[in-house]
Each structure stands twice: as structure tokens, then as C-alpha cells.
Structure 1
Amino acid sequence: MAELQTAADGFLLDGEPFRIISGALHYFRVHPAHWQDRLRKARGMGLNTVDTYIPWNLHERTRGTLDLAGGLDLPRFLDLAAAEDLHVLLRPGPYICAEWEGGGLPSWLLAEPGMRLRTTDPHYLAAVDGYFGMLLPRLAPHLSTRGGPVIAVQVENEYGAYGDDRGYLEHLAELLRRQGVDVPLFTCDQPGDLARGSLPGVLATANFGSGAARNLALLRAHQQQGPLMVTEFWNGWFDRWGGVHTTRPAADAAAELDTVLSAGASVSFYMFHGGTNFGFTSGANDKHTYRATVTSYDYDAPLTEAGDPTPKYAAFREVIARHAPVPDTPLPAPSKKLTVLDVRLPQSVPLLAAAELLGHAVPGPRPLTMEELGQDFGFVLYSADLPAAGPVLLEAEGVADRAQVFVAGQPAGVLERESHHRALAFTSPAAGARLDLLVENQGRVNYGRGIHDRKGVLGQVRANGRPLPRWTSRPLDLADLAPLPFGRTDTPPVGPAFHRGVLALEEVADTYLDLTGWTKGNAWANGFHLGRYWSRGPQNRLYVPGPVLRAGDNDIVVLELHATTRAAVDLRDTPDLGPTQE
């Protein structure tokens, strides 16, 4: 591969003028069996580069242990990009935003009460130094200066929207250089944040989705020489639970793209292919009200969640062809999809009854946060005894993010962060009646000061004004469902329960799990965690990558937190991301 350099008015690649035409493609949001397909389609749209974030919270879930296996095999992804003749812009953070859980910062950082994220706090920098010290040597062979595809590396991510600790950015740039990163460095910020987020001697780039002429002028006013680069051209947007599916007309986005390219600027689409927030990885935003992001990261991008071309693919390829060479290949065809209706889930097991098989209870004088329990994703089950029979006003200092309350095993209500609910009234049937709070982490905040987002029950829980003094806190990360003792039931249980069935297939292909009639929870296919569902929408079906299925019997498990009207699910051949804004 070739080396990238910056000149007064653009990029040079091995000394020749070069324009970066890139698109974001997050390997961690795509099943690894699909990486090559998505990269090949990027090349087919006319891209010469792809960019990817690196999620620290997946690669170092346990401090001091680096994971580059399976779907986290970034070196393999980089090799595949090179094989498709694509360069790579690497965006290692450590903070990435990305509508990703915690902006990619590992939850164990928050186990330390005084931790100051994204600053020169020595404790935070020690963690970053340790992580980069493990990660970057593994990626060094993939730098373009050593024959690999990585032509540039980003320093932090939109830091100007968060802080003004110049020493922090300088530390990161020096750390990258010290770890052998000898390709160009760059920062990215929204145009109004360029002064706070940029570094002398490091290329500044801009992020925006519209107003290209105005925003490129702001970038040029800030940085009078060097390439013009739009690191995030927002061609779509993400969705939140309880909202609508956000779309942007292809013609509108294509016209803005043409303005960018006509100005001689380089560009990277955010997103080229969004993919999926599998498992518990979707993030959240909190601008005075907490809003959790949905499982799909379709993003109304040129490729759908299943990798099929949208009208934007053709529209963008047409615009790119006016400014740069585009491969003479036909538009990719949609992949085959499966439809299988009425897949029965006849076996079940109540969660509260099986909780002791899924996590060990930790006693204490108060509920412990997820971070204190050493837990990143999932649920915590908190239990205590009520002191007396009769009316109870239960008050929690904080719940992050949603607590289902049970008294003597019966549902008593929900405390929900999004609705600012912290109190609940009910009747205790007897002294010593068991109180359970099943608390779900719906996604750590990924943007702004809210990233200091600890999960679980925060602070004391009071009954009629008095703190309950003795608690057990049981982490349920649901990484392994094998211990669950499923049994056949005639009527699906009400309340949190796992439901299981077997799907027999003669062939495999992508499909969408339709959970019509179900309320809220999570779903798995052959142990692969597909993500969250919620009847409030907008998303109504979960994407199931074909590679997680197999010819023969397939294990389908659904954790329903409330109740279902049918003990069955459907597989559909089309997505349903919900209604769009009129």
C-alpha cells in the first residue's frame, strides 16, 4: 500500500494528488462472515477508503486483557480491506461516541468514584496508556508505512464538543507517535468546535451533514492550508426507542455530497454501512431526558442493515463518478432472505426463579452499582426484605436505567429513568416480604458530560422514608444461558421469563425476527445475542445474520420482561424499522 502526505491544498499518495473518498464501516457492528461482502460493496460504490472506530469497551472488557478474536479480529478486517484495494482511516478513540455503549469507554473506568474521563486525570491516562500499549503494536504492521492499508489515524473524537483540555489531546498524539504510529494524524470536530478540538501540527477535519459550502469555509478559515476533509458526512441518522425511524432523501444527500466534492474536499460517509448494535451495545443520549438508542444501526445508509443497496448507493455512486473513477460493475443485488412463520417457543423458565443460576449475589448495606460489581452489560437483581406489612412508599435516589419492582414475587410497578420515575406505592403483604428490583442497563450515555453514566441502583432505597439496610446485588450479564432449566409450559408465564424453541431449517440466509405480540426484552439465535426489542418501537424486527443460523435445528431464546400474547415468533424476509417522520 502507499503512503499519505498532506500538501498545502490537498493530499498526496506516494507524491501524487489524491482525494480520500471513504465510508464508515464498523467491523464490530457487522458479522465477521460479512466483512468481505461489505468491503467489496464499498469499493463498488466508488470508495477508495473505509474508516472504522475501535471500541475500547469490547477489546478490553477486563482491564489488562486485550481481545482480538472472532468479531473483534481487527487485523483480519484490515487485511480484507487491503485485499479489496481499500485504504483505511483508523479511529481508535479512546472515546468514539458512535451511539455506542458509553462512547466506547469501558465501564470499569467508572468503578473509581473520582475518575475524570477524557482529561489529563492520571488515573484515566494510565488506563488509556495501558490499552494503547497493548493494541497499537498489534496494528502497527497494518500501517501504510509498513505495507498495510492504514493511511491515517484519528486523535480522540469530536473533543471540541466536550472539553478544552489541550494537554489531553497532546498526550494522545504523543502516545500514538510513541507507539509507532508514523502515518498522518487528524482530529475531527463539528465546525463550531474546531478551535477547542484541534491540535497544532495535526490535520483538522470537519463533521456535518448539510451546509457544505458554509462549513467548508469555516474549516478553511480555521486551517488556512492543508487538505479539506469531511470526516463525517452525515448522510442519515440513528433512531431511539419511542421515536420514529429517521430517513433522509437520497437526492438531498447526493446534492450535498456533490457540493463537497466540487469544492475539492475529501469525504467519508457516516455511515456507508451502519450495521447492528448486537447484544447490549447500543448507547444512549441524555440532554435532560435519557433516550436509549435502538438495536438497529441501519442509519438510512447506502447499504441496509443486511448489506443490501439502497437508493443512496446508486445516487452516491453517480455523484462520485463525476469526480473520481468508479468501478464498472453492476449494482449489487439484494441477498436472499428467509420467511418462516409461527416458530413456537414452548419451553420457558421464570427469571426470578432461575436468577441464582445466572449470577452470584453480593451482600451489602446498600445496593451496589454495576461498576462496583465489575459488570459492564445486562441486568442486576437487587433484593431486600420489607420491614412490615401495609402501605409502602418506595423511593430510590437513582435508577439507571429501568427497574421492575416485585413484592413477594408479584409485579408492583416500574421505576424508569427516562420518565424521571423514582417513587412507587404498593402494599406489603407481610413483615419480611421479599422486595426485588430487576434493573436493566439500557445503554450508557455516549455523548456529552453524561458519559459518566454509572448503572444499576444509585444510592439508597427507602421504604416509608427509611433506608432498607440489608441488600443482595446479583449481576446478570446473560453471557451464558446454558444453566437455564427450560421446561414445557401450557401457558407462557407473566413477568420476566426466558422462552425457548427450536427452528428447523433446510438452508440458511439472512432474516428478521418479528416479535409482534411481545413487550420488551432480548433475543438470541444459537447463542448469538441479536439485541433488544421493545413494543414501543420504532423498530419492530431484529436483524438475524445468516451466518448465525445453520441447516438443521436452531435454538431461539427470547427473554420477555413483561408478558407476551403468543408463545411464538416469526421470521420475515423484510425489515420493519417503524414509521418515518412525515
Structure 2
Amino acid sequence: MKAHPILALAFGLAALQPLASLAQAPAAAKHRFEIGETELLLDGKRMQIRCGELHFARVPKEYWRHRLQLCKAMGLNTVCAYLFWNLHEFEKGKYNWEGQADAAEFCRLAQEEGLWVILRPGPYACAEWDGGGLPWWLLKKPDIALRSQDPDFMAASKAWLAEVGRVLGPLQVTKGGPILMAQVENEYGFYGKDAEYMGRMRQATIDAGFDIPLFACNPTGSLWNGKRDDLFNVVNFGSDPATGFKKLREVQPKGPLMCGEFYPGWFDTWGAPHHLGKTETYLADLDYMLNAGASFSIYMAHGGTSFGLWAGADRPFKPDTSSYDYDAPISEAGWIGDKFERTRQLMSRYLLPGEKLSDPPAPKPVIEIPAFQLTETAAVLANLPEAIKDSAPRHMEAYDQGHGCTVYRTTLPVGPAAKLQLDQVHDFAWVYLDGKEVGVMDRRSRRFHVNLPERKEEARLDILVEAMGHVNFGVEIHDRKGIHGKVQLVEAAKTSELKGAWEIFPLKLDAPLLAGLKWKPADKDESGPRFWRGGFTLAKAEDTFLDMRSWGKGVIWVNGHCLARHWNIGPTQTAYMPGAWLKEGKNEVIVLDLTGPTEATMAGLSKPILDELRPELDFARKGTKKSTLELGDHVADLSASFSAGADAQDVKFATPLEGSQFVLEALSAHDGKPYAAIAELDLLDPAGNSISHASWTIAYVDSEELVGEDGSASNAINGQTADFWHSEWKTVQPGYPHRLVIDLGAKTAIGGFRYTPRAGNNPGRIKDYRVHVGSGFVKEAK
């Protein structure tokens, strides 16, 4: 077997030189990894990469070895090391590679456990991580264009990759380490088409000292975008590997086949059903790849937890839960069960010469903690830091803040009842007059106003804004938090902008803020956003799951560790508490609750609660079914049929249409069944470019499955083709027509759209359809 000559020439790297040159290689180069003509080669021998994604940032460092041993026992020979740039450079120029951020130690442990490593250094990662791993401080520049050749973005990215090379370069396989390959960018084809940008990122990785094969990954429908022949291309999919590899062959006719991300489950967002993968389908697809000799990475082999404030947000804005269980073969807490055992059995049939399966390590012990009280409070509005003066509110990043909450304060004059109107707020805002709550604003439904009562005296206006995760996917990653645009007072006779005297109080929810809180005994009659403090005593520190069902919405800290976000709407109702972060004796718990608990109590459970939705507790959201669709005598702007099959289909209008609402009427399915499904619906501008989803909402849908699976209508516009909108099927099966309406937030010129069917041989592929573009089709329920 030999290295593929075209790929070797394209890489131009020392790791791909002819085998004869090994005699001149440095003595430290213990192994040689190559992209062969038909196979991957390790020291000249066939290697099938059986990889699993395992994010060290989502696993307590104390448990890294345990989780790596589980991966090895499952039959994996490789793990992915995803780097989240913002974890390592939270403040510009200040790098952190210690403790939970010690990527080199993770790689060394993997090598000790007999696992190779695939490095994914970014700069962009996605991974349902805050901002996709991009540091918040990039957004301090008002006009920065992320993931582009913008000079400021390129300079920061090059500096980051150089730092990665300094820390992890010595751990490449060419130097005796475990790192076989490194990825350039991540799924760039979904975001853009600039092959020169990808080339500059490739060169920056080489300049950082990487002499191993470099690769690019993309979903099946984006493989051509930004494609380069000097990068090894791999494809990402959640099912139907035959189609995925067929698409890969169209862009890369020769070379080994590899799936860069293969999804056994999916992630959860607040307010949507918990995701469970279909184990039978997952195993059949995995068997197909193993039998075909293809390499792959299971995303996720072990999901873990997005601790602290690191969980991101799906687009247009669907914040992710802190639990990243993913229904992976290894659970959030490192437990194994049927999916693990069946994966292990399957892998055992495809081991390479000399390989053998190890036994899985014992699970970490779990304890229950009796209910305990949180008996002290510190009111948020009574514990504000020093104010920043400004003439008008700006987004958080402008005040050197990337996470947490911000209080915007001004004084309102005497006046009649009025409406407080903001252009936008990211993400939630509670409005107070003289300390009394008068309303809530919610980015999910684009509700950016509240009604104010009559004011017979001047009143203090406080707007408490909570930032959840920065959007981590699509052009919406330009997600600045806080108040955007004007703050206006709308009265019967006039509208005035509130300008001149604002005080801004950044609440970064960090250690200095917690240390400065002024605590007092809890008063059950007190209301408003508060920090709560209490604790419990342990004879032995082991894993547990904190029961948060009696709490509202906010953040949890235990023994100084920022543990997770909590929100009573679910589906996650517990917080995974690693025993490694507890201690024998007294343990301190602090909870920020922005809406208030029903009881200030907590307990430690022996099992997590990941699938309990409580939509009745959602303080501001309007469901997509409560509105009415009134097309009246509007004549469809287009009547046509989609082709059969799984390929994305672009539809171009004869002339551009303009409107603020886009209506897709699905009239029939190719298989004749009553179901409709859409993996992704993208609108295109007159030039054929994707229109930003940042201001979009689902204004109406006639049917969405929320019992048997997450078939939420919002899945059709979130940029992820592995999930989908699906009409109801579990308890009722309403027939065609099915209607989905997107509200764009403003009148927009639309040149066409892209319809991506659900992947695999599954029901719901739409055949005949009609499109309406206009305004006012959907009426909100009173």
C-alpha cells in the first residue's frame, strides 16, 4: 500500500513524503500517518479510524481517564480533541491551558490508554458551545465579519492557531505523540464558499507547526462550498451512509472514505422534547461503515455536560440545555447500557490485527442527598457593581462583558400609561418600575415591549437582561448580547427615545461578583431576582444529580464551581453534580433565580431527569399553534412539485418577491402518506445567497410532533439538517395539506428558497406544494 500521490502533493507536508525519506526523519518521529490511495495508513499498514467525540471541557478533569477507558472498551481506537477557543482565551491575549483546559494532558492520557487523537482546533467549532467556540471579545469590533478574511478575524485566528501549535504541536504523531490528523475550520461549507479563506486557515495551521494530514468536514449538502484539493475531505451525517459517501465521492473521487461526525443521538434545547436516537438505525449505519472499510467519528461517544455558562444556542435562537447527554453510548454521568454494549459487540467484529477489547471500568458511585434548604438571599438589584454611565444603552460586549446579566437603569418622567419598546434584546429582559416587575421580554418570540402603568411621580426603570449562550451556528454567530438599538417610550400622542442618562451595571456572574454579595436571612414575602445560598454535609463525596424542579430560571454554583443553568420548563430538571467537585463535610450551594422558586429546597437524586417538559411554566413564550393562518383570496405565488429523493432542492422565483412572511403549503407526499417533514428550509436573496435567520420566528404551523420525538417546527429553520420538522404521528395523524409559516421580522426581498428533505428512507418527503409571500397572513391569538 502507498500514499495517494495526488493527496500527498496537495498536502505538501513532511508527514506525506515517500516512505524512503523516513531515514532522514527526526529521531523523535515514532510513527507515520498517511492518506493512502484507498485507505488510511499508519506506519504503512491499513488503519480504519474508529473514533468517538469526547470533549474534555465537558468532562471533569478528574474523570478524563475513566471516560477514555470507556471509549477504548467500546471498541474505539481514536478520540477527537475539540478545542474551544473561548475556553482557552476568554480574555484577549491571556491563554489558559491549565485544569479543565489542559488539552495536552487530555491527549497524553488518551495515548496512555492506547487511543489515537484527532485534533479539531478551530478557530470555529460549533458543538453547541457558546458562540461555537469563538471568543466573545471578537464582537467588540462593530463591523467584524467572523469566519471570513476580515483582517481582525484573521489576525486573531492566526495568533490562536500559533498558540495551539506551541502547546499541542509536540504531541503530533510525527513527534511521538498521539495526534494523527488536524481539522481546518469546521463545516465551513454550510457557512460560506470562500476557498481562499479555507486556504489561509490551512496555511495558518501549517505555519503553526502542524506537519500531519489536514482535513475539512462538511454536511452532505455543503461539500462543494469552499472545497480545496489540498485538504482531505470527510462528510458529516446522522444516517444513510451510502448516500453520504456517494456525495463525498462526487467531490473527492479517490482516497479513503470517512465520516467526520456520525450522530447516534442529538442535543436538547430548553422547552423542546428530550432527544433519543434510534439505536437500531444507528447500529445498522455503523455496521455499514465498518463493513465498507470506512473510517468515522461517533458524535458523541460521550456527550458530558456544558458546565457553567458554556452552553450555546441553536439558531434563530433556541438556547441549549447544560446537559449534553446526547443519548450517546456513554451517558452524561459516564454510565453504560444497551447502546454501549451493542456498539462494543459490533466493533469486536471489525478489530484490526493485534487489537483486542479491554474491559470497561467500573461506574462512578452515585449517592442521594436528603432535601436541604437554601436559607440566605442576596437581591440582585441590591447587589449591583459600580455603574457605567452612558447616554443610551448598548450591547454587553461594548461594556467589556460577554456572559451573565446586565442591569440597564434610567429614570422615567411623570406620564400616562405607555408602552416600553426596544428594537431588540438578546436574550431575555425583566422590566421593573421602582423595583416592581411589570413585564418580560423574550427573544424567542421577538417580544420586545411591555406595558407600563401611569406614573404620578418619577420612577426608576430597571431592565435586567439575561444572556444565554451566543448562537453557535450560521451567520447568526454575530450574536451580541444585551440591548440593541433604541429604547422608546410609546404614549398615546407621542413616541420618544429614552436617552441622556443611563447607568449600566454588568453582572458577569463570576467569582468576584459572588464574593461581594451581601447575604441576609431569606424572607418568603420578598420577590424579585435573587441569589440564594445554602448547603449540605456529606460523609462521602460521590456523583449525584441536583433536583431543580422547585426552582425557576438561572444558574447554579457548588463549592465555587459554576455548575449549570437551570430552567423549570425542561426537558432537563436536574443538574449533574460530579462527586469530584464535592467534598466530605460541608458543601456550599448558590443559586441565581431570576423568576423565583416555589420552594427554596434542593436534593441530590440517584438518577437524572432529562425528559420532563413543563410548558405551562414558560413565562413568556407563545406556542406556534395558537395563531391563525388567513390566506383569504391570496393567489399562490408558486405552485410546483419537489423531486423525489434526499437531495436539497433550490427553487428560484421568476422574479423576486417581497414580504415579511413566507408560507409553504405542503399538499401531498411522495409516498402517499399523511406526514410532512422538512430537515431545513432556507430562503435565498435575489443573488442566491442564504438570508440570515437572526430575526426569524415560526409564526404558524398546523401540526408538529412533540410526543414521539422532537418534530418542532423550529427545527426547519435552525440550520441543522440532522433534525427536522415533522407533522404529528404519535397520537394523531392529521392529513394534508400541512402549512408552515416563517415570519422574517421585516419586509425582505426573496429570490427563492432551498428545501432539504429529511435524510434516509423515511416518510414525510413533500411532493406537491404552494408558496405564498406577503405580510399579515398570520394573526396572533389574543
Q: Which category of TM-score, normalised to the shorter sequence, fits these structures?
A: over 0.9
1:437 aligns with 2:468: no
How far is the alpha carbon of 1:389 from its aligned partner?
A: 3.9
Q: Which residue among 455, 470, 477 is the counterpart of 2:508? A: 477
Q: Are residues 477 and 492 of structure 1, via their aligned partners in 2, closer, same or farther at CA, if it must alter by over 3 Å?
A: farther
Specify the alignment match of 2:172 in structure 1: 143
Q: Which residue among 123, 126, 131 is the counterpart of 1:94? A: 123
Runs of 4+ in 1 over 6 A off after TM superposition: none
TM-score normalised to structure 2 length: 0.72
Specify the alignment match of 2:408 in structure 1: 382
Higher relative contact order (CA 8 A, sep 6+): 1
Q: Which residue among 579, 588, 591 is the counterpart of 1:555? A: 588
- Percent identical pairs in the alignment equals 39
**Helix, strand or coil at the partner of 2:587:** strand
RMSD: 1.4
1:292 aligns with 2:329: no
Q: Is the 8 A contact 2:72 2:358 kept in 1?
A: no
Equivalent runs, 1:98-109 vs 2, <5 Å: 98-109=127-138
Specify the alignment match of 2:486 in structure 1: 460
Letter in structure 1 aligned against 2:176:
G
CA distances 1:94-143 after superposition (whole Å, capped 9, x unpaired): 01010111111111111111101111111110111122222221111111
Q: Is the 8 A contact 2:404 2:466 kept in 1?
A: yes
Q: Distance in 2 between matches of 1:224 and 1:279?
A: 44
1:318 aligns with 2:351: no
Q: Distance in 1 between matches of 2:266 and 2:372?
A: 33
Work out the number of aligned pairs and report it: 577
1:51 aligns with 2:80: yes
Q: Distance in 1 between matches of 2:508 and 2:598?
A: 26
Q: Distance in 2 between matches of 1:137 and 1:57?
A: 17
1:502 aligns with 2:535: yes
Q: Is the 8 A contact 1:343 1:570 kept in 2?
A: yes
Q: Are residues 197 and 313 of structure 1, via their aligned partners in 2, closer, same or farther at CA, if it must alter by over 3 Å?
A: farther
Equivalent runs, 1:499-578 vs 2, <5 Å: 499-578=532-611
Q: Is the 8 A contact 1:402 1:441 kept in 2?
A: yes
Letter in structure 2 aligned against 1:366:
A
Q: Distance in 1 between matches of 2:356 and 2:456?
A: 74
Bigger Cα displacement from structure 2, 328-337 vs 346-355: 328-337
Q: Is the 8 A contact 1:308 1:332 kept in 2?
A: no
Specify the alignment match of 1:237 in structure 2: 266
1:216 aligns with 2:245: yes
How far is the alpha carbon of 1:333 from its aligned partner?
A: 4.1
**Helix, strand or coil at the partner of 2:261:** strand
CA distances 1:484-523 after superposition (whole Å, capped 9, x unpaired): 1212224263211011112100001111110122111111
Q: Is the 8 A contact 1:20 1:48 kept in 2?
A: yes
Equivalent runs, 1:347-496 vs 2, <5 Å: 347-356=376-385, 360-464=386-490, 465-469=495-499, 470-480=501-511, 481-491=514-524, 493-496=526-529
Bigger Cα displacement from structure 2, 152-161 vs 246-255: 246-255
1:173 aligns with 2:202: yes
Q: Is the 8 A contact 2:54 2:302 kept in 1?
A: yes
Q: Is the 8 A contact 1:367 1:457 kept in 2?
A: yes
**Helix, strand or coil at the partner of 2:250:** helix
Q: Is the 8 A contact 1:158 1:197 kept in 2?
A: no
Equivalent runs, 1:156-305 vs 2, <5 Å: 156-287=185-316, 290-305=317-332
Of the two, which has the highest radius of gyration? 2
Letter in structure 2 aligned against 1:471:
W
1:83 aligns with 2:112: yes
Q: Distance in 1 between matches of 2:398 and 2:456?
A: 31
Q: Distance in 1 between matches of 2:588 and 2:416?
A: 44
Q: Distance in 1 between matches of 2:464 and 2:497?
A: 18
How far is the alpha carbon of 1:328 from its aligned partner?
A: 4.0
Q: Is the 8 A contact 1:308 1:333 kept in 2?
A: no
How far is the alpha carbon of 1:251 from its aligned partner?
A: 2.1
Q: Is the 8 A contact 1:250 1:311 kept in 2?
A: no
TM-score normalised to structure 1 length: 0.97
Letter in structure 1 aligned against 2:498:
L
Q: Distance in 2 between matches of 1:307 and 1:362?
A: 45
Q: Are residues 512 and 428 of structure 1, via their aligned partners in 2, closer, same or farther at CA, if it must alter by over 3 Å?
A: farther
**Helix, strand or coil at the partner of 1:341:** strand
Q: Distance in 2 between matches of 1:298 and 1:306?
A: 8
Q: Is the 8 A contact 1:407 1:428 kept in 2?
A: no
Q: Is the 8 A contact 1:394 1:425 kept in 2?
A: yes
Letter in structure 1 aligned against 2:118:
L
Letter in structure 1 aligned against 2:132:
G
How far is the alpha carbon of 1:198 from its aligned partner?
A: 2.6
Bigger Cα displacement from structure 2, 88-97 vs 479-488: 479-488
Specify the alignment match of 2:46 in structure 1: 17
How far is the alpha carbon of 1:216 from its aligned partner?
A: 1.0
Specify the alignment match of 2:672 in structure 1: none
**Helix, strand or coil at the partner of 2:592:** strand
**Helix, strand or coil at the partner of 2:341:** helix
**Helix, strand or coil at the partner of 2:104:** helix
Q: Is the 8 A contact 1:271 1:299 kept in 2?
A: yes
Q: Are residues 348 and 461 of structure 1, via their aligned partners in 2, closer, same or farther at CA, if it must alter by over 3 Å?
A: same
Specify the alignment match of 1:42 in structure 2: 71
CA distances 1:188-239 after superposition (whole Å, capped 9, x unpaired): 0011111114311210000001111111121122211111011101111001
Q: Distance in 1 between matches of 2:234 and 2:322?
A: 29
Letter in structure 2 aligned against 1:483:
G
Q: Distance in 1 between matches of 2:346 and 2:192?
A: 36
How far is the alpha carbon of 1:310 from its aligned partner?
A: 3.1
How far is the alpha carbon of 1:430 from its aligned partner?
A: 4.2
**Helix, strand or coil at the partner of 1:196:** coil
How far is the alpha carbon of 1:256 from its aligned partner?
A: 0.9
Q: Is the 8 A contact 1:405 1:412 kept in 2?
A: yes
Letter in structure 2 aligned against 1:299:
Y
**Helix, strand or coil at the partner of 2:417:** strand
Q: Distance in 2 between matches of 1:578 and 1:361?
A: 41
Q: Distance in 2 between matches of 1:536 and 1:337?
A: 26
CA distances 1:322-377 after superposition (whole Å, capped 9, x unpaired): 11156444444432211112111111111111123xxx321111112111011111
Q: Distance in 1 between matches of 2:358 and 2:148?
A: 47
Q: Is the 8 A contact 2:164 2:208 kept in 1?
A: no
Q: Are residues 328 and 203 of structure 1, via their aligned partners in 2, closer, same or farther at CA, if it must alter by over 3 Å?
A: closer
CA distances 1:142-183 after superposition (whole Å, capped 9, x unpaired): 111111110100000000000011111000111111111000
- Stretches of structure 2 that go unaligned for 5 or more consecutive residues are 1-29, 613-705, 709-782
How far is the alpha carbon of 1:439 from its aligned partner?
A: 0.5
How far is the alpha carbon of 1:438 from its aligned partner?
A: 0.8
Letter in structure 2 aligned against 1:516:
R
Q: Distance in 2 between matches of 1:105 and 1:336?
A: 36
